[in-house]
Amino acid sequence: MTRVDLEGLCNFRDVGGYPTVDGRVVRRGLLYRSDALHRMTPADVGTVCVLEIATVIDLRAPDEVAHVGTGLIDDLGARYHNLPTRPAVLTEPVTDSPPASAAEHYFGYLAEGRTCFGGVVETFADPASFPAVFFCNAGKDRTGAVAAMVLGLLGVDDETVAADYARTQEVLDEIRAATSRDYPTDVKAWRNLSPDMATARAETMLKFLQLVQERLGGWHEYVLSLGVDPAALAAVRDNLLSEDGS
């Protein structure tokens, strides 16, 4: 829950400390979500290194990574995985019928990014992967969907997941400014977005979680459909939950 104060990033935060429905707590200091780590300054690298990050999961599409690079990520000394939720962003063709809502847009990630979502779970099943951070550009949409899956699998309730997602609203202006410096203004994919993609509201995440439940039966069922071993799901919970969050 705690946001880390950095120069080049504004949405790097711990997702630990949340209670689960079975009375346990997501462990603090093990799992972080962030906006684009390629924006880290040398001072930021020093701050993040103190967290002893072992794994970095980059949710950006390969064409994004090629465009803006990975910056100083290698200086963290962590294992780097590019697990894109979408095959392309900058070169995506414009469609005549974009998703009707941000929730539908996020739901589309689950089909396009099956390797991503399954890979995240399998990575987090290994205790050596922690502490870990996952990120996209804003740390809102793709990062929000992955955070929702992980927290949902851990047993965090929907309202808490939605509130965590909505925290990005606090820094959205700064994220937009950084994005405008990094990307061309005519990115085709951004023409395919519904108006509610411009905000980070709790109701958007709640609608997405409702779609996951209604169409897929929930996160557990979705992850099993990806071919993830049930033992891996149990390992994720063992790695990331404790009685008091420590």
- The domain total for the chain is 1
Domain membership flag for residue 2 = no
pTM of the model: 0.96
The answer to whether 123 and 136 are in contact (CB under 8 A) is no
Closest listed residue to residue 6, CA positions, set 28, 39, 54 = 39
**CA–CA distance, 62 with 96 (Å, rounded to integer):** 24
pLDDT computed for residue 188 by the predictor? 58
**Helix-helix angle 102-112:114-124, to 10 degrees:** 80
C-alpha torsion sign, points 186, 187, 188, 194: negative
Domain membership flag for residue 6 = no
Residue whose structure tokens are 């939950």: 241
| pLDDT tens, position by position, 43-52 | 999 999 999 9
pLDDT computed for residue 191 by the predictor? 65
pLDDT computed for residue 195 by the predictor? 86
The range of the structural domain enclosing residue 58 comes to 13-238
Residue whose structure tokens are 């290194």: 49
Domain membership flag for residue 1 = no
Domain membership flag for residue 243 = no
User: Per-residue pLDDT averaged across 208-231, rounded?
Assistant: 98
The region that residue 61 occupies, defined by phi over 0 for left and psi between -120 and 50 for alpha, beta otherwise, is beta
From 85-89, 155-159, 206-210, the region with the lowest mean pLDDT: 85-89
| pLDDT tens, position by position, 84-108 | 999 988 877 666 566 789 999 999 9
Domain membership flag for residue 137 = yes
CATH code, domain carrying 127: 3.90.190.10
Burial of 22 (0-12, 13-18, 19+ CB in 10 A): exposed
